Amino acid sequence: MGKRKEALTRLLRTIGDVNSELRQATPSDEPFLREMLYLALFVPPGEAPLPRSVLSNPAIGRYVDGWGTRSGDSGLIALVNGVPVGAAWLRCFPASEPGYGFVNEETPELSAAVLPTHRAKGIGSRLVDQLLQGVDATSLSCDPANPARRLYIRLGFKPLPDGRTMLRMKSPPRI
């Protein structure tokens, strides 16, 4: 894991005309992850934004509360010119306190968001793709009307019968 972490920390790519870097998320990133979590909450077009107090709801806040201190927490932060602009992270939940995309206790749930000014530049795709390298299975919850759903389908997620939960199983290695 050390070599992978070092490689990701130094990873620099050009996406369009934007230089972006990915680095491992740390517990000190919890405030930024909380902001990304707020941005990840889908609000249909024409509806009022959710109040920021929604983040204090335990069912929402559990996606970032104490982030990086639990076994299995893993995440990446996207930086543009050294400034965080997006994040993708994984967290497992117990059956007694399942997340919205819960499949089982061994399957981590994915959360991801990119600042609106940096969307549609490939940053979200790169974050999720890099984060899921070597991950056997991942789930998430995504409203069918959420435009991000197209990204998740492109990255191999398949909708489950409830229509909101999506699952991605490890694909064969890339050649």
Task: Provide the pLDDT for residue 120.
Answer: 86
Our CA angle for 140, 145, 146, nearest 5°, is 50
Task: Provide the pLDDT for residue 88.
Answer: 97
pLDDT bin (cut points 50, 70, 90) of residue 32 is very high
pLDDT at residue 11 above 80?
A: no
Tens of pLDDT along 42-71? 999 999 999 999 999 999 999 999 999 999
- Could you tell me the pTM of the whole model? 0.84
Nearest Cα to Cα of residue 70 among 25, 31, 39: 25
Q: Which residue has the tokens 């197209």?
A: 150
Q: Does residue 108 contact residue 92 with C-beta atoms inside 8 Å?
A: yes
pLDDT at residue 20 above 90?
A: no
| Residue 137 in tokens | 């299975």
Answer with the residue of higher pLDDT: 169 or 77.
77
Tens of pLDDT along 146-167? 998 999 999 999 998 888 888 8
CA atoms of 20 and 149, how far apart (whole Å): 23
Q: Which residue has the tokens 């790519």?
A: 13
Tens of pLDDT along 105-123? 999 999 999 999 998 888 9
Residue-averaged pLDDT of the chain: 87
Q: Residues of the chain with pLDDT > 90: what percent?
A: 67
Answer with the residue of higher pLDDT: 17 or 85.
85
Nearest Cα to Cα of residue 114 among 138, 143, 142, 84: 84
Residue range 3-16: mean pLDDT, rounded = 46
Task: Provide the pLDDT for residue 9.
Answer: 45
CA atoms of 153 and 175, how far apart (whole Å): 21
Task: Provide the pLDDT for residue 91.
Answer: 96
Our CA angle for 31, 10, 1, nearest 5°, is 80
Helix (H) and strand (E) counts for the chain? Answer: 5, 8
pLDDT at residue 172 above 60?
A: no
CA atoms of 105 and 108, how far apart (whole Å): 7
* Phi and psi torsions of 140, nearest 5°: -160, 165
Q: Where are the alpha helices (DSSP H) in the chain?
A: 2-10, 30-40, 58-61, 123-131, 148-154
pLDDT at residue 137 above 80?
A: yes
